[in-house]
């Protein structure tokens, strides 16, 4: 594994945090204005991806992503590289992560650890992963 995988996992977590925060802002604006802007509330987290801006998340999202990575590593007593290696092995990828795999893994971690109803294990094989609860704090 390499630092590149860690960066990709962090990038995926940051994207999940950005999309979740953006969706909450849209829902809050809908409630305040009593007008259906995007109807985001009716979509699951996976659908928010297609509605959210495709910008690179600002630094505070990455800061929170690395905080979450640290907590996951502590809880699992393993580096994110080892955790990702376990996920890959469970899915039958023994040496190299397929394109986008680490990023997607990060997105699922970001959503799942912040209480969104989306899990890596909905579409991937189970392995011994201990999750943490994470409260995203972004000043806006």
3-state SS string for 16-82: HHHHHHHHHHHHHHHHHHCCCCCCHHHCCHHHHHHHCCCCCCCHHHHHHHHHHHHHHHHHHCCCHHH
6-39 confidence digits (pLDDT tens): 999 999 999 999 998 888 887 777 766 655 545 5
Domain count, the chain: 1
Q: Is residue 138 part of a domain?
A: no
**Structural domain boundaries, residue 92:** 3-122
64-91 pLDDT, tens digit per residue, is 999 999 999 999 999 999 999 999 999 9
Does residue 140 lie within any of the structural domains? no
Q: 109 φ, ψ to 5°?
A: -60, -45
At residue 32, the pLDDT reads 67
Instruction: Tell whether 127 is covered by a domain.
Output: no
**pTM of the full predicted structure?**
0.85
Contact 43, 106 (CB under 8 A): no
d(CA 76, CA 61): 22
Query: In this model, does residue 132 exceed pLDDT 70?
Result: yes
| Residue 50: inside a domain | yes
């Amino acid at each position: 594994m390499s630092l590149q995988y860690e960066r990709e996992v962090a990038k995926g977590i940051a994207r999940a945090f950005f999309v979740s925060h953006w969706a909450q802002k849209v829902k809050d604006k809908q409630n305040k204005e009593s007008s259906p802007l995007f109807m985001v509330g009716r979509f699951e987290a996976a659908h928010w991806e297609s509605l959210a801006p495709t910008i690179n998340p600002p630094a505070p999202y990455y800061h929170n992503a690395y905080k979450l990575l640290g907590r996951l590593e502590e809880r699992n007593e393993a580096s994110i590289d080892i955790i990702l290696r376990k996920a890959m092995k469970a899915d039958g990828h023994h040496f190299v992560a397929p394109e986008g795999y680490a990023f997607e893994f990060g997105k699922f971690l970001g959503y799942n650890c912040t209480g969104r109803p989306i899990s890596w294990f909905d579409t991937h094989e189970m392995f011994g992963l201990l999750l943490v609860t994470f409260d995203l704090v972004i000043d806006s």
